[in-house]
Structure 1
């Protein structure tokens, strides 16, 4: 009965995925992989992606759906990052300058996005997906047209248009990861990203605190029962708009955190590659379409990044064929379908 209760609360899909991750960790040293390095890689990837997954929480709480429009926040972050480089900001301070420059774009784009979602209640996911894809396509043109002049970013021959991939060496690459880093395997360049983990913890604590304020409670009420919330005097549209702006801003910060750990900035179609992994991670962690918590963010990011990190190593060593992309697609889309098709009452099961 106790095991049945645990399975019911944790969820069969998450139990299967957690079991698969545990199996990968067990198999890694057996097939000859360095277990320490694999654990370190998972920790590093968690530090890169956790803030992007955290960006899902506000919109889920307000009932504004899973944020398939997160590319808007990512674009705001990319604009902040490129402007910081254009203005000549260097070193770790350029990371915070990039956040400062990205904030107005996140507020503007998030406000417009939230206004649109308020006009089309009930079709948020379809609209969010369209907005995300359309914004990426639009920026593919704008990255070529915007008047950037920094030789670090523009194409060398024409001097116009931004490169597809921009190195962040000398700028905010490693700004958080190198702060108070702890050696794990220095011979292989593996360190514990203390600064990035602390930065995520600070944002997560801020989100937790906000959700326990009067405004945060009102936002949760809107997501749980908008009719009851409206009858209680809560401005439903205002709460939804606030949640979208918060999600967009966190998405902007999240992509900057990802970039400083990855060491490069990727433009054009790259934001499209962040949407499904981010949505899948929050769902794998146990979130429902109207409820998400900080533990869901942490658990989901660890499970998802463990799968995409360990699968290539273990599977390639076992069958001499890289099937990591296949596994990633199955897990991402499978968890999304599971979450969107089940009937949710009061949260995750």
Structure 2
């Protein structure tokens, strides 16, 4: 029995146990501080599902051998372009609007991903460094693009002759909350009870299922083989470089879906520098879920996304109660989130493979 417990302990790891313990501690502290635990858990569940697909985008990238994809900003940009185009065209039906946004985002994200994968094939061994640079650079480049796109919709551009796109764009009149509101219900009191965004959860889990099916397909297994043992895969007649490009394209395309899912839940599109750290958050989440730079599974995504977003959802209200004066609560939130990122990145041991 002791050997079995030791095996479980070794598989989970002390750092992950500490993170789980920290989450349970701050959650337990919420009730004595007068906070609504049901509301906090509902927020944690919502954040888990709305951010989960961005974390899921790490799986094909890691499995194909390019490692942790800090360059998912390319996919995020593709999703934002699809969403803004849907608003510009004034598609009235929210379901048609989000479907159009996702299809456009998938197409642009796949094209970006193919080009990005070709770049990574030329810098083998330095993928993480290059992907980090690409992730930051594309956001900086898009800051100029958002100022020059020829959109005319008053929902997108600054009013009274202002130049460029708004920093924050409301989705209330387009596809805001379409997944969250679908089959949603509340456990307990309608106001203070536990809210379950059923549609959002189902869409996240469906996407996880589809990615899982792809990873178990002949093509997905070839892609994983190319990542785990390139020499053997090449000797078997499989083009390793093409498999790496496939993994990058799927990862980037998933990120485009992920940002649209995130935005519809949040209720707004955030442009310019707002998505800058999303790649780091996604990397940190999948790592604390149990992934490594060489292996990532759907279970790592589900566990890691919940731990990372759950801590952020609960920590800030608790900090507001403990330190109600000034901006210390927000500072603590930043310290906590960056601390999780630092722990997660330390698991990479500085390598790219």
Tell me whether the two structures share a fold, i.e. TM-score over 0.5: yes
CA contact (8 A) 2:56 2:208 kept: yes
Equivalent residues of 1:183, 1:191 under 8 A apart: yes
Which residue is equivalent to 1:297? 301
* Per-residue deviation, 1:113: 0.3
Q: State whether residues 144 and 162 of structure 1, in contact with CA within 8 Å, keep that contact through their aligned partners in structure 2.
A: yes
User: For 1:70-110, what per-residue CA distance to the aligned partner results, in whole angstroms no more than 9, with x for missing partners?
Assistant: 10000000000000001111323211110112122112111
1:181 aligned to which of 163, 167, 184:
184
Structure 1 unaligned blocks of 5 or more? 345-349
- 1:137 alignment counterpart: 140
SS of structure 1 residue aligned to 2:338: helix
Q: Among residues 242, 247, 251, which one is paired with 1:247 in the alignment?
A: 251
In 1: Cα distance, 2:307 partner to 2:11 partner: 17
Q: CA deviation at 1:159?
A: 4.8
Q: Decide whether aligned partners of structure 1 residues 190 and 162 sit closer, same or farther in structure 2, where only a CA change above 3 A counts.
A: farther
Match status 1:282 vs 2:286: yes
Task: Find the counterpart in structure 2 of residue 89 from structure 1.
Answer: 91
- Give the corresponding residue for 2:348: 339
| Distance in 1 separating the partners of 2:213 and 2:103 | 22
Aligned equivalents of 1:119, 1:186: Cα separation in 2: 56
Q: Secondary structure at the match of 2:349?
A: helix
SS in structure 1 opposite 2:245? helix
Matches of 2:264 and 2:117, distance apart in 1? 28
Question: Residues 1-349 of structure 1 correspond to what in structure 2 (within 5 A)?
Answer: 1-90=3-92, 91-184=94-187, 186-187=190-191, 191-320=195-324, 321-322=328-329, 323-341=332-350
User: Which consecutive aligned stretches of 4+ in structure 1 deviate over 4 angstroms post-superposition?
Assistant: 341-344
Q: Normalising by structure 2, what TM-score? A: 0.94
SS of the counterpart of 2:74?
helix
For the residues of structure 1 that align with 2:243 and 2:99, how far apart are their CA atoms? Answer: 28
Following TM superposition, by how much is the alpha carbon of 1:341 offset from its aligned partner in structure 2, in angstroms? 4.5
Is contact 1:149–1:160 with CA below 8 Å preserved after alignment? no
Tell me how far 1:343 sits from its aligned partner: 11
Q: How does the TM-score come out when normalised to structure 1?
A: 0.95
